[in-house]
């Protein structure tokens, strides 16, 4: 009985410490189309310090399909297609929902294993879209500067 009371007291102290840290914790937002905005879902993900589980490092938006910066994604895709002299069905692309578009582009992307691994490990659709845009911009910069590319 004493051990159970001790365990409950410890759990209560831990929760109280985490709650106190929450009030001092920085809350971040999504950066979409040049503006800082909250996530469309209104949900948050707390990043807990693994070395001290009472320490909440930050609160981050739990992003979903509505949080994807579609304009940046389409711009990067357009630049990539032009640089590689490729054509696409723009009507189909423009009508595709964000989730279908991002996941299809991720599967078809011609990038190396590091980029593909980053796409696989992306915690949400918004992050996956951002990785696609960044990888595309890096590859385009390498092409224009004569640098080595990691395209397969």
Helix/strand/coil for 146: coil
Among 21, 41, 62, the domain-final residue is 62
| pLDDT, position 13 | 64
Same domain assignment for residues 80 and 132: yes
pTM of the model: 0.58
Q: What is the mean pLDDT of residues 104-115?
A: 85
Residue 151 lies in a domain: no
Question: Could you tell me the sign of the dihedral formed by the alpha carbons of 108, 111, 113, 115, in that order?
Answer: negative
Domains identified in the chain, total number: 2
Contact yes or no for 66/98 (Cβ under 8 A) = yes
Between 142 and 34, whose confidence is greater?
142
Q: What is the mean pLDDT of residues 10-30?
A: 66
Same domain assignment for residues 8 and 43: yes
């Amino acid at each position: 009985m004493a051990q159970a009371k001790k365990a409950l007291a410890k759990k209560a102290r831990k929760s109280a410490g985490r709650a106190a840290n929450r009030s001092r914790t920085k809350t971040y937002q999504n950066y979409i189309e040049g503006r800082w905005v909250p996530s469309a879902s209104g949900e948050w993900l707390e990043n807990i310090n693994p070395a001290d589980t009472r320490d909440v490092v930050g609160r981050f938006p739990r992003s979903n399909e509505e949080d994807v910066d579609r304009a940046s994604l389409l711009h990067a895709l357009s630049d990539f297609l032009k640089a590689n002299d490729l054509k696409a069905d723009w009507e189909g692309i423009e009508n595709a929902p964000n989730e279908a578009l991002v996941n299809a582009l991720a599967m078809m992307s011609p990038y190396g294993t590091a980029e593909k691994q980053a796409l696989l490990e992306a915690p949400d659709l918004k992050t996956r879209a951002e990785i696609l845009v960044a990888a595309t911009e890096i590859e385009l910069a390498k092409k224009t500067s004569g640098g080595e590319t990691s395209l397969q």
